[in-house]
Amino acid sequence: MRPVKKLLTLLIILFSLSSEAKIYKILVTGWSYKPGFDYMLHLKSPLSPHHFVLDCQSFLHELVLYEAEREDSKRIFELYFNPQSCYELGSWIISHTDMGGKMCFNLDTEKKTVEISTENYQFCF
């Protein structure tokens, strides 16, 4: 294969892989328990069409973002926690939003990371 053709093939592969990576910015303004569960939180985001859940009750403790406002829709982000970290995050979200606080979750699908900001949430869109 000629060098130019190899380079073009490599670039096409890289662009197709990078198109899957996305950062979602989700403004969270409140929460509610999922009916029938003691520690599964639906994170309320009035500006997002997604369903956002912190699940500290199931076997796998996770933060999940669904494609649509239904749990049977495709998962577009998931991050797993140990039980203690999940409970601490849930408790912090509950206390912060119950006091009127807002927070911006930056979810990176490629790196599988989440950053939470309580100061610059006005830029969360």
Task: Identify whether 17 is part of a domain.
Answer: no
Interatomic CA distance for residues 43 and 51, integer angstroms: 8
Q: What is the pLDDT of residue 81?
A: 93
Pairing outcome for strands 75-81 and 61-66? antiparallel
Q: What distance in Å separates the CA atoms of residue 116 and residue 22, rounded to the nearest whole number?
A: 16
Q: Over 60: is that where the pLDDT of 18 sits?
A: no
Does the residue 99 lie in any domain?
yes
**Predicted local confidence at residue 120, as pLDDT:** 77
Domain count along the chain: 1
Range of the domain at 83: 22-123
Average pLDDT of the residues in 63-78: 88
**What does the pLDDT read at residue 14?**
40
Is the residue at 94 inside a domain? Answer: yes
User: Nearest Cα to 109, choosing from 21, 6, 25, 39?
Assistant: 21
Identify whether 14 is part of a domain: no
- How much is the pLDDT for 2? 56
d(CA 45, CA 94): 14
Beta strands 30-33 and 23-28, pairing class: unpaired
Instruction: Indicate the pTM of the whole model.
Output: 0.78
Give the per-residue pLDDT at 9. 42
Whether residue 113 lies inside any domain: the answer is yes
Q: What is the mean pLDDT of the chain?
A: 83
